[in-house]
Structure 1
Amino acid sequence: MRTVRMTSTVAVAALVLTFGQPARAAAPTVQPSTRADALTAMHGEAFAHAKYLAYAQEAARAGQTAVAQLFTRAARTERYDHFAAEADLIGFGTDNVANLTDAIRGEEYEAYVMYPAFARQAVADGCRAAADLFTEISVDEAGHAREFRAARYAITHPGADQNFPVGTRVTPVPIRAGLPKCAGQTQANLDAALHGEAFANAKYTRYAENARATGQARLGRLFDNAASQEIGEHFAEEATLAGLVRSTDANLRDSINGEQYEATTMYPSFARRAARVGDASAADLFTEIAGDEAGHAYAFTLALINLG
């Protein structure tokens, strides 16, 4: 795991103590444009992580073990190296109460606004399978919101019942390769939902890590279990409807295109912008990750050639 170097623009860390948690260092300071770019990158890395795990599953099903292992390694790099380093850069997810508040807000939006609207659109587009799935997921997200609210109350009220729910870990649902099952706006909504679920999975695992580091083991379990449903059930079922996974040949081509874009366009532009505003450590990080993504593109290209 890389360590992000701080620049002179970073304020001296201050120690805080909140709701019985161990003292934590204050979040590092970066310019707003750098923070926005880091968050954009984190969304991309979270989606790549989830997508590559799906591609690995298909390669394994087809007996292409080496390619499956390549996708799995790349997925771990995206989440546990790139996403994690970018989160460290901006101090993302370092306060349990703030994390719960963010989770509640996100889950309630999905449960009562986003997914019901997607379900209505799916009915209009004639895709009953998507309408049913969106409705089912909205119920799950409402349940997550209730659990997160109970956890926040327990943490913020000394002497309150600490036996708040820890959720249930779900068994992953296989993703079936194939063409999209819907069209029109519903297909676009499936894509948006896939990105949202992938990011929720990544940030909840980040929140779980912080909870355990601050002595909140039950909260860590709650976030981990919610994360398991976001990727293992919601993302997986949406991926099947969206036609996310195709043949290993097509999956490799998609991965090469994505990695080349990040290596040659996205991360270099983020690095230049960070350098211009004086965030030298961010510029260094973005440049380093660009090099990693170029390496992924090369490895995927070799794998594609070997499929022949």
Structure 2
Amino acid sequence: MSHHPIRTLVVGLCALAATAAPATPALALAVPTGGQPTPHTAGRALQAQTIADLTTTMQGEAYAHAVYGLFAAEADRQGLPAVARLFRTTAQTELNEHLHEAATLLGVVGGNAANLRQAINGETYEHEVMYRRFADQARQDGDLEAAKLFSEIAADEGRHRDAFRTALAAVTTGHGTVPAPLKADVVSVPSGLPKVKAARTKANLDTAMHGEALAHAKYMLFAAHARQSGHPALARLWEGTAETELREHLAGEAVLAGLVRSTKENLSKAITGERHEATTLYPGFAEQATAAGDTAAARFFRDTAADEARHGAAFQKALDQLG
């Protein structure tokens, strides 16, 4: 899928720069640890451009996973189970293989306390700044339904921040308990046209959806680390919050954005995105990583480009079969 500007939950990644294959089960992959880019050559960390390109990769793959899940649900509604399976299988590859491998190279996941602090920073920005600004702008532009949704999500993100703060105190002091996650109010996303009119609102919905997709993906990584390190309650908090980000926040935004269309249109959109990644985006990233001496990252980008070419071909075949 195509890549877009992202919310500040990616600040933790950007700060590091200072400057259809079968899906693999998520927990079968090594959970990345650290908080600094993982060295792939003795004594040398990733170069800044490679870090930026891997960060872009995480953003795009998280969004692809989310969107393909919505496209799969629409294919099911249209009585196209084979297409639905193709979208779901591809979605899992994007999340459990491509995004996880990029995260491993970056060393995205730190200790439980560091992960909580990173999430607190992101949720605070969304609660206090981003979603409030989006709501104000939507009201100014007459998109009152979007303004209401943005305001509701801002409040949710404040509650997420508070839960993470409580969890951080429990993790760092050994006293108190990690709170249970809020229950997600799952939103169905049928096909339809946008329900907003202003270009600014549409752009803000796009930014928000990309951010919610990345939050979901990162929180699932953090959950795996929490579970592996003997903190099941913290893992449940991460997983429940991730569910809200994906199935409530992103889904509600997708309805307003008119993200899902007919399965033919969804396949065409997917084909365009996958071909761009296969022929332009990831080959370019591979060249840059090679020039920087980041050989492991270059190999990852080349392998991912090949995967995306297969995804594009599979989507094209499915579209051709629909006639």
Structure 1 length normalisation: TM-score? 0.91
Does the 8 A contact of 1:43 with 1:195 survive in 2? yes
Q: Distance in 2 between matches of 1:209 and 1:35?
A: 23
State yes or no: 1:96 paired with 2:122. no
Which residue in the other structure is 1:86 paired with? Answer: 102
Match 1:49 to one of 41, 44, 65? 65
Once the two structures are overlaid, the 10-residue window that deviates more, 292-301 or 177-186, is 177-186
Q: Distance in 1 between matches of 2:102 and 2:163?
A: 28
Q: Distance in 1 between matches of 2:164 and 2:134?
A: 24
Which residue in the other structure is 1:36 paired with? Answer: 52
Task: Report the CA distance between 1:8 and its aligned residue.
Answer: 5.8
Task: Report the CA distance between 1:189 and its aligned residue.
Answer: 0.5
Does the 8 A contact of 1:201 with 1:228 survive in 2? yes
Q: Distance in 2 between matches of 1:172 and 1:38?
A: 30
Q: Distance in 2 between matches of 1:10 and 1:297?
A: 36
Q: Distance in 2 between matches of 1:251 and 1:94?
A: 36
Does the 8 A contact of 2:222 with 2:238 survive in 1? yes
- CA deviation vs aligned residue, 1:193-224 (integer Å, no higher than 9, x gap): 11010110001001101111111111111100
Which residue in the other structure is 2:129 paired with? Answer: 113
State yes or no: 1:269 paired with 2:284. yes
Q: Distance in 2 between matches of 1:213 and 1:279?
A: 29
State yes or no: 1:180 paired with 2:212. no
Determine what percentage of the aligned residue pairs are the same residue.
47
Q: Distance in 1 between matches of 2:88 and 2:263?
A: 13
Which residue in the other structure is 1:77 paired with? Answer: 93
Which residue in the other structure is 1:302 paired with? Answer: 317
Task: Report the CA distance between 1:169 and its aligned residue.
Answer: 3.7
The alpha-carbon distance between structure 1 residues 48 and 10, as it changes in their structure 2 partners (threshold 3 A), is farther
- CA deviation vs aligned residue, 1:253-284 (integer Å, no higher than 9, x gap): 00000000110111001111111111111100
Match 1:62 to one of 78, 85, 102? 78
| SS of match in other structure, 1:225 | helix
Q: Distance in 1 between matches of 2:104 and 2:54?
A: 10
RMSD: 1.6
Does the 8 A contact of 2:39 with 2:46 survive in 1? no
The alpha-carbon distance between structure 1 residues 37 and 122, as it changes in their structure 2 partners (threshold 3 A), is same
- In the TM superposition, 1:150-189 aligns within 5 A as 150-158=166-174, 160-161=175-176, 163-183=177-197, 184-189=199-204
State yes or no: 1:248 paired with 2:280. no
Q: Distance in 2 between matches of 1:287 and 1:7?
A: 19
Aligned positions, number: 289
Q: Determine which structure has greater relative contact order: mean sequence separation of CA pairs < 8 Å that are 6+ residues apart, divided by chain length.
A: 2
Structure 2 length normalisation: TM-score? 0.86
Q: Distance in 2 between matches of 1:297 and 1:48?
A: 13
The alpha-carbon distance between structure 1 residues 94 and 7, as it changes in their structure 2 partners (threshold 3 A), is closer
- CA deviation vs aligned residue, 1:76-127 (integer Å, no higher than 9, x gap): 0000000001111111113211111110011011111001111011111111
Amino acid at match of 2:191: A
| SS of match in other structure, 1:63 | coil
Once the two structures are overlaid, the 10-residue window that deviates more, 172-181 or 65-74, is 172-181
The runs of 4+ residues in structure 1 deviating greater than 3 Å are: 1-4
Q: Distance in 1 between matches of 2:40 and 2:58?
A: 24
Does the 8 A contact of 2:40 with 2:296 survive in 1? no
Which residue in the other structure is 1:258 paired with? Answer: 273
Larger radius of gyration: 1
Q: Distance in 2 between matches of 1:175 and 1:76?
A: 19
Task: Report the CA distance between 1:7 and its aligned residue.
Answer: 7.3
Match 1:202 to one of 210, 217, 220? 217
